[in-house]
Amino acid sequence: MQHSILLIEDDSSIVEMVEKYLVKEGFRVTYAYSGEDGVKEFMTNSYDLVISDLMMPKMDGIEVIQRIRLQSAVPILIMSAKDSDIDKALGLGFGADDYLAKPFSMLELSARIKAMIRRATQYSSVESKQEQALTFDDMIVDIENMLVTKHGVPVKLTSKEFDILKLFVSNPNRVFTKAQIYSFVWKDEYYGDENVINVHMRRLREKIETDPSNPKWIKTLWGIGYKWEV
């Protein structure tokens, strides 16, 4: 199966280099030279992975990620010359799955892409088949039957609490902002009402964590969001 990649980058020399290499690797590559065109292209066609530069005029890579994340959980790889921990946290916190600093080798780029697509395919397969119950120490999450047990005892979750848990366990180690959680779970635009998210996260932790004040699974990244850590 030939996987399709959307490359959003305003440097034509990088576009040419990356496209040429990835095509040789067997990928189908479409590119856009601006954030605006990249988002339009993504909304028009289906892609298995998005690669986006971080620093672009008008609509930068962060806004590109935010807009794509309102519609899709597609894997996103950031490419940028801004190689600092703050930029990485910011980019990943808004929904990117991985970060590659410029300059980079084509070999590393290809390896990152293949790993991201492989992970996304595995998680998608588990969710679409809905045959497997996911186990986390003494807790079992049965996505198909919407059941959670801890120490063999059923955990009573509301539909929204289960939807949040499902989002997390289906995307382990991926950071979600509050806006993204609201978009995926409530299927609506987020207007900054943090209390709704905070209350649901607190109640979910109280029900599934052994020590809610020091959670093992649902980790907070202050100023960014949450992730399910495995």
The crossing angle, in degrees rounded to 10, of helices 194-208 and 159-169 is 80
The per-residue pLDDT for 97 is 83
Place of tokens 């709704």: 196
The DSSP H or E segment spanning 148 is strand 147-150
**22-31, 131-140, 141-150, 163-172: range with lowest mean pLDDT:** 131-140
**Fold entry, domain 4-125:** Rossmann fold (3.40.50)
How far out from the chain centre does Cα 12 lie? 27
The two three-digit tokens of residue 207, written as one number: 């029900």
- Is the full-model pTM beyond 0.75? no
Place of tokens 């900054």: 192
Q: What Cα–Cα distance (Å) separates residue 4 from each residue in 1, 18, 38, 141?
A: 10, 14, 14, 32
In the three-class reduction of DSSP (H, G, I as helix; E, B as strand; rest coil), residue 11 is classed as coil
- Of the chain, the end-to-end C-alpha distance in Å amounts to 29
Average pLDDT over residues 64-78: 87
Q: Which amino acid is at 14?
A: I
In the three-class reduction of DSSP (H, G, I as helix; E, B as strand; rest coil), residue 15 is classed as helix
The per-residue pLDDT for 127 is 52
Q: Which amino acid is at 184?
A: F
Cis peptide bond prior to 103, omega within 30° of 0: yes
- Contact criterion met (CB below 8 Å) for 95 and 7: no
DSSP labels, 156-206: ---HHHHHHHHHHHTSTT--B-HHHHHHHHH-S---S-HHHHHHHHHHHHH
The per-residue pLDDT for 123 is 57
What residue ranges of the chain are covered by domains with CATH 1.10.10.10? 130-228
Looking at every residue in the chain, the average pLDDT score rounds to 87
How does residue 85 score in pLDDT terms, banded at 50, 70 and 90? low
What residue ranges of the chain are covered by domains with CATH 3.40.50.2300? 4-125
How does residue 129 score in pLDDT terms, banded at 50, 70 and 90? very low
pLDDT at 196 over 90: no
The two three-digit tokens of residue 228, written as one number: 């399910």
How does residue 132 score in pLDDT terms, banded at 50, 70 and 90? low
* CATH code for the domain defined by 130-228: 1.10.10.10
User: Cα separation of 70 and 61, whole Å?
Assistant: 14
Average pLDDT over residues 194-198: 87
The per-residue pLDDT for 179 is 86
